[in-house]
Amino acid sequence: MTTGSIWSQRRVVAGRWTLKDVVQGKPFGHPSHPPFVHFPSALLPSALIFDLASRLDPDLTFTRAAFYNIVLGLVVAMFAAITGLVDYLPMVGGSRKKIIGTRHLIAQLCAVSLFALSLLLRTFDFYATQTPLGAMIPAVAGAVVLTIGNYFGGTLVYRQGMRVSTDL
């Protein structure tokens, strides 16, 4: 089975929608990528807030909250990545949308990688009452890169009109 056959125009769900249509959110009348991106965009930077709180007031609750925010943020980021790729892959190569989309993709991959590294470093000291600085540094960098990636994503929607349609 090739990638092209997966995205063929054969009807897959309820005789009306293709797999691509379902992943893009057409049966729901709303693009599927935006609902998923809000969770990592909130959970991952909020982990950094819990990290800072743990540095000011050492408490296992803060370090665990940060840990689980990163875990949940990374899990939901996988769904955001899948739905985002479905929108990204058919873009015309060399177009302004594809260039901005590529920047968005690279920034988000870097941000997720930095938070994954931070998560890995936290697992070595799971019972710490203060988040280790070694785990906070990738989280700070990840939050900055995530913000840049979100800017590119916003530019795609609000300036380039990506996936803005009334006929979903």
CA dist., res. 98 & res. 7, Å (int): 19
Q: Which of 9, 1, 72 is CA-nearest to residue 40?
A: 72
Q: Which of 136, 120, 142 is CA-nearest to residue 55?
A: 136
Written as six digits, the tokens of 145 are 């890169």
Q: What is the pTM of this model?
A: 0.85
Domain carrying residue 119: 24-158
Q: Give residues with Cβ within 8 angstroms of 49, minimum separation 6.
A: none
Q: Is residue 124 part of a domain?
A: yes
Q: Is residue 99 part of a domain?
A: yes
- Read off the amino acid at residue 4: G
Q: How many domains does one find in the chain?
A: 1
Inform me whether the pLDDT recorded for 13 exceeds 90: no
Question: Which pLDDT band holds residue 21 (cuts at 50, 70, 90)?
Answer: confident
Inform me whether the pLDDT recorded for 167 exceeds 70: no
